[in-house]
Structure 1
Amino acid sequence: MDDTDHRFPCDQCGADLRFAPAAGALVCDHCGHSVPIEGASPRDRPLEELDFRAGLAAALPETEMEEVRRLKCPNCGAEIEIGGNSHAGECPFCATPVVTGTGPQRRIKPRGVLPFALEERDAHKAMTDWLGRLWFAPNGLRDYARKGRRMDGIYVPYWTFDADTRSTYTGARGTVYYESQTVIRNGQRQRVQVQKVRWTPVSGGVARFFDDVLVLASKSLPKQYTDGLQPWDLADLEPYQPEYLAGFRAEGYTVPLDEGFAEARAAMDRVIRRDVRFDIGGDRQQINTLDTRISDVTFKHVLLPVWLAAYKYRGRTYRFVVNGRTGRVQGERPWSAWKIAFAVLLGLILAAVIGYLAALGQQDGGIVLDLR
């Protein structure tokens, strides 16, 4: 995905067009000329899936592959796709200066893209509002973020997996019942109800079709941040078109297809175990054996929109991410040492004052009693 493919000259003035989320079209910031994106309309069928085994064997059709050159960050490992004669820049994920050192690579082309719906100003406001709601956050960082540089719009890579599963199991169903027993408490006999469980052997099977199990294909951001941006409206995925990337960056995937599927399979297994427990029923469940047969595995490489800010503040990097569709914010929790110390000191003072007033109240009460 060469960056030159993401540049679209304006027919009116020759400046670069960019994808404008509010307009849902390519817009020229210089003269205001707007160009609609062809095919960007509601679809009557989902995006076509790719065969998982063919992807593992590097046997996908040539139309599903592309040659890219990427800028790799030596600090966080992010790979940002570049083109032209670009050789240096700053990593949008951790604000580290980076220099390219890799040649062209063949990668699986994105099948779908979820276009940005929020403009940068809206994402920036969502981030600063989020920071403003944090207790004990440094005022300097919040002010720096409000007045700081613009956020970067990044298309983050994900895998989605579909699979048909059929599972058989053996286990036991537990039924809770109570028995009356006599116990001695404080030297006295008492009748109490004691809980017991009656186990009955069971066996059976469950089946489930998994659709679009989402797996992050990047290692540049902590997973708890990206997981916190969910849910994503994957039903609105558009067929990949480079026009959606005009004016934005795209991160290349660094989680291979097989590793992505291993994570998806773990997520599927958790759901299957939940299905089995529901199928067993009763008050308690035991799963002794569980065998799952998986078939018809397919996948897609998709790009999801994230607004990103990375600020270096007092020698430390703080990263914040905003869902480019919903405005949901996640990031590193900054703490202000002096605010925490002040709060602790204030708490000690309040505790001392309350204790002093309580002591005075007890003394006054004693005097009243003596007078009577």
Structure 2
Amino acid sequence: MLDERKNWPCNTCGADLRFEPGATELVCDHCGARQAIPDAPAARRRSLNEIDLALGLSDDLPPAQMEQVRITPCPSCGAQVEFQGATHATECPFCATPVSIGTGEERRIKPQAVMPFALNEGQAREAMTNWLGSLWFAPNGLQEYARKGRTLNGLYVPFWTFDAATRSHYAGARGDHYYESRTVTRDGKTTTEQVRKTRWSARSGWVARRFDDVLVLASTSLPRHYTDNLQPWDLSALQPWRDDYLAGFTAEGYTVSLADGHAMGRDVMAGVIKSDVRADIGGDEQRIDRIETDWKDETFKHVLLPIWMAAYKYNGKSYRFVVNGQTGKVQGERPYSAWKIAFAILAALIVAGIVLTVTQTR
């Protein structure tokens, strides 16, 4: 869901203000006035505390942690667009289709924290074009189009974070390699070779781990591997929720429920626990027969993280790129140039032919 928040009027000229990435102030592009974002008071800083997961899953959160929102699906790509305040129409940043307000309304969990943009649009564009330039097989025309194309969209993307204290009992086996000599005869010649074997012994035990801020994308609008590959994020930069950081940007509401996000988060944690078990078993190989985990002190947060996004059409095909608004890391659909690939194959064949010719003349 895309959240078009209220406007922030300039105290000098009345034009809309926007948040200045990398700063702690709002800027008026019309008259140049700047307005500081006040520090969050202690009461709001406490909002960064974790929320009890059981209360969230049972839909029993306090009213202050919930909000009513109006939603409308994008008629083109299906993204859920969220409206607040007096906004009645907007543009879907995923496909640029105009969207008008509908009649649907939902009760949803409020964001607790936001990571403000650290990179501005120009810096994000530079990171993207440098990334495209590093892809040798990318079409030159696409790189040039990206440099001169439409402005990147700044978007706050929803995530869940999960904490948990775990203690896991496992049963399995440890495999230790050893070698035995074996005499073999081939073509009338007798040789001795070393044969690797594995000695297995039963193992069981306990491993424990405390997980902190396991990130799960709470959106279905972008491929998950895009945002997964934008990690790591420095979550110490999270700020208590303030609308000011959204001025001039769009915030997407979550489309992955807390329950589904929690299941994904547990899958991530289970993978880490499995690695812990293998390390605890030791040896050259490990076999895991069973892992039983006790989950305690489970909490969550709903946070928004910044990305710059661009969608380009080149030779009839769409390409989508996302840039981490904190670090400048880039991910996207890798484009290929047919003539560059053909040239590389031709060059390789020429080199192989030269090598073969030189070899044969010796």
Q: TM-score, normalised by structure 2?
A: 0.91
Within 2, Cα distance between the matches of 1:132 and 1:2?
31
Contact 1:319–1:332, Cα closer than 8 Å, also in 2: yes
Within 2, Cα distance between the matches of 1:303 and 1:2?
12
Listed as ranges, the gaps of 5+ residues in structure 1 are 366-372
**1:15 is the counterpart of 2:41:** no
Query: SS of the residue aligned with 1:14?
Result: coil
User: Partner amino acid for 2:65?
Assistant: E
Contact 1:120–1:307, Cα closer than 8 Å, also in 2: yes
The answer for the alignment partner of 1:263 in structure 2 is: 264
Contact 2:74–2:97, Cα closer than 8 Å, also in 1: yes
Distance 1:74 1:340, change over 3 A: farther
The answer for the alignment partner of 1:368 in structure 2 is: none
Within 1, Cα distance between the matches of 2:100 and 2:188?
80
Within 2, Cα distance between the matches of 1:134 and 1:116?
26
The answer for the alignment partner of 1:369 in structure 2 is: none
Query: SS of the residue aligned with 2:132?
Result: helix
Distance 1:17 1:282, change over 3 A: same
Q: How far is 1:192 from its partner?
A: 2.5
Contact 1:2–1:67, Cα closer than 8 Å, also in 2: no
The answer for the alignment partner of 2:337 in structure 1 is: 336
Within 2, Cα distance between the matches of 1:351 and 1:256?
56
Within 2, Cα distance between the matches of 1:41 and 1:143?
46
The answer for the alignment partner of 1:303 in structure 2 is: 304
Contact 1:78–1:251, Cα closer than 8 Å, also in 2: no
Q: How far is 1:96 from its partner?
A: 4.2
* Cα deviations by residue, 1:282-310 (Å, 9 ceiling, x for unpaired): 22222122111112211111000001111
The answer for the alignment partner of 1:277 in structure 2 is: 278
Within 1, Cα distance between the matches of 2:132 and 2:72?
30
Distance 1:204 1:256, change over 3 A: same
Q: How far is 1:350 from its partner?
A: 5.3
Q: Which one is further off, 78-87 or 54-63?
A: 78-87
Identity of aligned residues (%): 60
Q: How far is 1:185 from its partner?
A: 3.0
**1:205 is the counterpart of 2:206:** yes
Q: How far is 1:187 from its partner?
A: 2.3
Within 1, Cα distance between the matches of 2:280 and 2:219?
36
Query: SS of the residue aligned with 1:8?
Result: coil
Q: TM-score, normalised by structure 1?
A: 0.88
Within 2, Cα distance between the matches of 1:354 and 1:196?
42
Paired positions, count:
361
Output the aligned Cα RMSD: 2.6
The answer for the alignment partner of 1:160 in structure 2 is: 161
Distance 1:39 1:343, change over 3 A: same
User: Partner amino acid for 1:301?
Assistant: H
Distance 1:306 1:71, change over 3 A: farther
Matched ranges for 1:345-356 at <5 A: 345-348=346-349, 351=352
The answer for the alignment partner of 1:226 in structure 2 is: 227
The answer for the alignment partner of 2:66 in structure 1 is: 65
Within 2, Cα distance between the matches of 1:206 and 1:30?
59
Within 2, Cα distance between the matches of 1:44 and 1:249?
23
Contact 2:3–2:81, Cα closer than 8 Å, also in 1: no
The answer for the alignment partner of 2:140 in structure 1 is: 139
Query: SS of the residue aligned with 2:138?
Result: coil
Contact 2:3–2:82, Cα closer than 8 Å, also in 1: yes
User: Partner amino acid for 2:237?
Assistant: D
Within 1, Cα distance between the matches of 2:194 and 2:80?
63
Within 2, Cα distance between the matches of 1:273 and 1:110?
32
